[in-house]
Amino acid sequence: MTAGRVPDRDTCVLRNLVDRHAAATPDKPFAVTPEGATITYAGLRARVRAMAGALQRLGVAQGDHVLVWLPNGLDGLVTWFAINYAGAVYVPINTAYRGGILEHVVRNSGARLMIAHGQLAGRLAEIATAALTRVVVAAGDRPALPGLEVLGAEALAGDGAVADLDRPVEPWDTQSIIYTSGTTGPSKGVLSSYAHLHAMGTSLAADREGRSFIGPDDRFMVNLPMFHVGGTAPTYAMLVAGGSIALLEAFDTASFWRTVEATQTTVVILLGVMASFLVKEPVRPGERQTPLRNAIVIPFAAEGITFRERFGVTTRTLFNMSEVSCPLIADENPTVVATCGKPRRGVQLRLVDAHDVEVAQGEIGELVIRTDQPWALNHGYNGNPEATASAWRNGWFHTGDAFRVDGDGNYFFVDRFKDAIRRRGENVSSFEVELEVCAHPAVREAAAVAVPSEFGEDEILVALSLAEGHTLDPADLIAFLRPRMAHFMVPRYVRILDDLPKTPTRKVEKYLVRQSGITPDTWDREKAGIAVRREKLSG
């Protein structure tokens, strides 16, 4: 892609891509499921056009917002594509939402039509539904929803006739509104263009110079939800490449390798603790004989290196969020733990202070971004001009993430600024504490948060869950951590849980850990008589 240019419609816009691949490779699979279902490019186009025509007859016009509340699956995939094919905007909802956050998203979307699973749609009876007037239940039983017209799946059937659009869909048109996880505040609706999703998907599957490591013969496992860029970006990457996806409802450790084999998956994203879960599974005979060739491990903890060595798979890592397009990419098979990589071609990055002044090398600053290609980043937050202006101030997109860069140009995520911990006059990265805690063989996952100290500032609490078959004495964990981290980073409190609270995208909901605070079952290092102090230097 030439700097300053956007991709053309035929290589960027979903409607054009579906038509082009269906004509060129009609019998080639685009999506397969572990259960054995397959949809070819020609079959995809036929189903998408049938639903797009039905949506038009339901009153959906070009540019309208359409809410989608479905789990991962072929129905959800076709629904997304049909909305875009009709020139409308895809607005997926987190399947865990209910109550206040659901009401917020429905209101913010401004949508009049929702396509939902019946079991989820029943939650609408508990909230004010704003502009929403009609719900199509694509699967499951139809709930009674006073004040809303509720239709069955037959309303989405059609003969493939699609009315002409008012104008061609352009790369800069809004393709989707993806809502942020909302772990630190109300979810914001990220406005994403076709050019943005194209940039995200193609960068996800490329090196820093833009050379793709996937092709038409690759199959990307989509095990993250379609209401998240973890699900939409790889799907779009394969649509652009003319490849295929293995579509799963969710990641599952126990069945992961069987699913890789059954679906002939060649590429996967392992987000959060997925890689840790897999490397802590018992060794299996022949586990290196697998079709999987590339694993994108985010974040890149020590388990990323172990994963490569154990399974013989090329590992990669990068930094991304809903608003950007993979601005940081590491070289293949990275060896620097916790790296996010270096800037990819076409992006400019700075680390800045609260006044947007660049910080010195080695200091921590907020990552801000801009790109050579127009529309390769988000174009704001839906219905939230204040958040848009704040994020885009001074001509740069502000990520809200604290980073540092080393002398070799490697960027390291330090923390969300809202998750930072201040202890004994030192700033502590919760992310770096979690990396070291998770290095213990008994620990499956961990979340470090600040809790109040009787002396002011913060104390550090680590909530963790254990790997299968392991037990852990918190005192042994402290002994493990002391030689691995600065004294002020060693947690005072340890709480062991069966599982940490998470969003459906497997992000730990730290605010819930923080709200729970010091519970009766929390272990206190100081009450146990274990003091951790600065090492005295002789001389």
- Residues 386, 456, single domain; the answer is no
User: Residue 413 forms beta bridges with which residues?
Assistant: 403
Cα dihedral across residues 234, 206, 352, 490: positive or negative: positive
What DSSP element (H or E) covers 150? Answer: strand 149-151
What DSSP element (H or E) covers 340? Answer: strand 339-343
Q: Is residue 538 part of a domain?
A: no
The pLDDT tens digits along the chain (539 residues) read 556 789 999 999 999 999 999 999 999 999 999 999 999 999 999 999 999 999 999 999 999 999 999 999 999 999 999 999 999 999 999 887 888 878 989 999 999 999 999 999 999 998 999 999 999 999 999 999 999 999 999 999 999 999 999 999 999 999 999 998 654 456 799 999 999 999 999 999 999 999 999 999 999 999 999 999 999 999 999 999 999 999 999 999 999 999 999 999 999 999 987 998 899 899 999 999 999 999 999 999 889 999 999 999 999 999 999 999 999 999 999 999 999 999 999 999 999 999 999 999 889 899 999 999 999 999 999 999 999 999 999 999 999 999 999 999 999 998 777 776 877 666 777 887 888 899 899 999 999 999 988 766 789 999 999 998 999 999 999 999 988 887 888 999 999 999 999 875 667 888 889 889 999 999 999 999 999 887 654 43
What pLDDT does 422 receive?
Answer: 74
In single-letter form, the type of residue at position 184 comes to: T
Q: Is residue 529 part of a domain?
A: no
What pLDDT does 537 receive?
Answer: 46
What pLDDT does 112 receive?
Answer: 98
Q: Is residue 535 part of a domain?
A: no
Q: Is residue 531 part of a domain?
A: no
What pLDDT does 182 receive?
Answer: 53
For tokens 């590992």, name the residue. Answer: 315
- Give tens-digit pLDDT for 314-352: 999 999 999 999 999 999 999 999 999 999 999 999 999
- Residues 379, 467, single domain; the answer is no
- Residues 456, 362, single domain; the answer is no
Domain that holds residue 258: 9-403
CA distances from 145 to 55, 133, 298, 516 (A): 21, 10, 41, 35
- Residues 347, 433, single domain; the answer is no
What pLDDT does 165 receive?
Answer: 96
- Residues 502, 376, single domain; the answer is no
> Total structural domains in the chain?
2
- Residues 323, 229, single domain; the answer is yes
- Residues 490, 380, single domain; the answer is no
For tokens 């910080």, name the residue. Answer: 359
- Residues 374, 463, single domain; the answer is no
User: Residue 404 forms beta bridges with which residues?
Assistant: 412
For residues 135 and 142, give the distance between their C-alpha atoms in angstroms, rounded to a whole number: 9
For residues 303 and 295, give the distance between their C-alpha atoms in angstroms, rounded to a whole number: 12
- Give tens-digit pLDDT for 295-311: 999 999 889 999 999 99
- Residues 67, 121, single domain; the answer is yes
What pLDDT does 536 receive?
Answer: 57
Residues in the chain: 539
- Residues 396, 430, single domain; the answer is no
What six digits make up the tokens of 441?
């063989």
What pLDDT does 96 receive?
Answer: 78
For tokens 């699979």, name the residue. Answer: 29
CA distances from 89 to 77, 351, 526 (A): 14, 33, 54
- Residues 164, 30, single domain; the answer is yes
Global pTM value: 0.84
- Residues 506, 383, single domain; the answer is no
Which of residues 345, 374, 403 is at a domain's end? 403
For residues 501 and 520, give the distance between their C-alpha atoms in angstroms, rounded to a whole number: 18
* CATH classification of the domain holding 491: 3.30.300.30
What pLDDT does 183 receive?
Answer: 46
What pLDDT does 539 receive?
Answer: 39
Nearest residue to 219 (alpha-carbon basis) of 249, 241, 244, 251: 244
